[in-house]
Homo-oligomer: A and B are copies of this chain.
Amino acid sequence: MPRPSQRLLSPEIITEAAIRLVDLTGDFTMPGLAERLKVRPSSLYNHVSGRAEIIELMRARVMAGIVVADPDGKWSETVASLAREYRRNYAEHPRLIPLFTAHTVQSGVAFGMYNALAQAFSDGGFSPAEVLHAITTVDSFVLGSALDLAAPEVVWATAPEANEPMRAALATSGPNPGRADAAFEFGLRTLIAGLVAQAPRQDRSRPAAPMSRG
């Protein structure tokens, strides 16, 4: 006798259900996932090898939304545009972030963005070790910013403990996404300024047009 629930399973369906579970509860288990999908846990293993593979499928699903444009401008503009795309996609599922950072990146899809970042920093003249540091820096800033975008309207209560500069700063805070967006753009501008200042090579358009003078 056919079991209809079996036929409804696929890696995509399992991935979507796992994302919903993490959105709701912060994590997922194979038994919890099976219960949600109304199948036996063993049925899941006909489609995925286990928890680690599901985490990579979730990562691929989230990172597939990142548009990696042709790097025809300055390397710093490429980095800024990738950072914006990266944040936009992760902000929809902030509770996935600690699961992703706790697992080795295996997904080929993820390398689309990381390759573009590596190329951009390499164009800036950074050494391979610095390229890795710079990618990690962008990663950390973007993931933290994605968490901030999911923060409540009031990030800091106006506490009696706040000093004068903190109170004045809090008084300027507006509603989201405006507040988080403005902070992210300030931070991105700051980070890019710091990267350009440290880059061994001049930040110019690529491919560099030959200069003809006189």
Contacts and interface: CB of A to CB of B under 8 A. Distances in A.
Interface stretch (A11-19, A37-45, A91-99, A204-212): A91-99
Could you say how many copies of this chain the assembly holds?
2
Interface residues of A, number: 77
- In order of increasing CB-CB distance, the 9 nearest A-B pairs are A140-B144, A194-B194, A137-B187, A144-B144, A133-B186, A136-B183, A190-B194, A26-B27, A26-B26
Chain A facing B: main interface SS:
helix
Interface in A158-183: 159-163, 165-166, 168-173, 180, 182-183
B137 A183 contact: yes
Nearest to A162: B111
A24 to B, nearest CB: 9
